[in-house]
Amino acid sequence: MSLSPECTDRDLAAIARMVYETSGITLHAGKRALVSARLQKRLRQTGAASFRDYIKVLQRDVSGEELTAMLDAITTNHTSFFREPQHFDFLAQTVLPTLCDRANGKPILGWSAACSTGEEAYTVAITACQALSDAASRRVTLLASDISSRAVARAAAGLFRSERTADMPRHLVLKYFQKASSPQSGVLQVTPSVRQMIEFRRLNLLHPAPPGPPFDFIFCRNVMIYFDRAAQQRVIDSLEARLARGGYLFISHSESLNGVRHGLSWVAPAIYRRGAA
């Protein structure tokens, strides 16, 4: 039985540098086991006999496809429906009613900026459907993005094992999910009416934010904990620039904007607002 290739200090440093330069994610020495385990499949698929050989594959890859595949393998996609539920209560009770009252029936625009496999974006859409009338909820358009192309593809499909919805209120599962036409049993799919509210797209938060009208609210949660201060500053600058006047930014309760320059005002735990004037 052959042993798996070893990821040396030099290998880890080279991979960590590539990951940081591309995504802003910091990999320290404590991540060696994670990096080694998650990249074994990439080594096999590229024919690399060692991590040193794999690094050479990455360096020669002018298309960037293998670099994307590496990021897909390394990035953590832990998420759940209605995670940190206080945020969705605030969205339903404070943010959405105010936006709905705006004149001229303007669209309501939101962004799930680190959507992982889609649970957050679908929770936002379901919250809007529950909080607003049918006519008003049709004004809600969401962008959902992630650096992982694999996660984005899974999110766009809207397919989830039934146990993923086990902690959701039963009436919401019955209303917004349906049995999927899947060879696997116990798979549910988000209903078309909810899926059509969301555009899923692969985006890197260190790159310029997507062009277009400003967002009324942005969720960017559980991603900045992987960035150092410099990368956090770049991300917050980009998000703030795309936030509408009076718009809201939601970060995770495990994150903080302390030490990051911004012009946002604290509203509630892990919720900030851009000035209206």
Instruction: State the catalytic residue, choosing from 38, 138, 150, 164.
Output: 38
Q: Do β-strands 264-268 and 271-274 pair in parallel, antiparallel, or remain unpaired? A: antiparallel
Distance separating the N- and C-terminal Cα atoms of the chain: 67
Q: Tokens representing 66?
A: 């293998």
* Residue 161 annotated in active site: no
Task: Mention every residue, 6+ apart, whose C-beta is less than 8 A from residue 26.
Answer: 16, 20, 226, 227, 228, 231
* Residue 61 annotated in active site: no
Helix H segments across the chain?
9-23, 32-46, 51-60, 65-74, 85-90, 96-100, 119-131, 134-137, 149-157, 170-176, 192-195, 229-241
Q: Give the number of other Cβ atoms within 10 Å of residue 247's Cβ.
A: 25
Residue 84, classified by CB atoms within 10 Å of its CB into exposed (0-12), middle (13-18) or buried (19+), is buried
Instruction: State the catalytic residue, choosing from 11, 72, 146, 216.
Output: 146
Residue 218: strand, helix, or coil: strand
Catalytic residue set: 38, 146
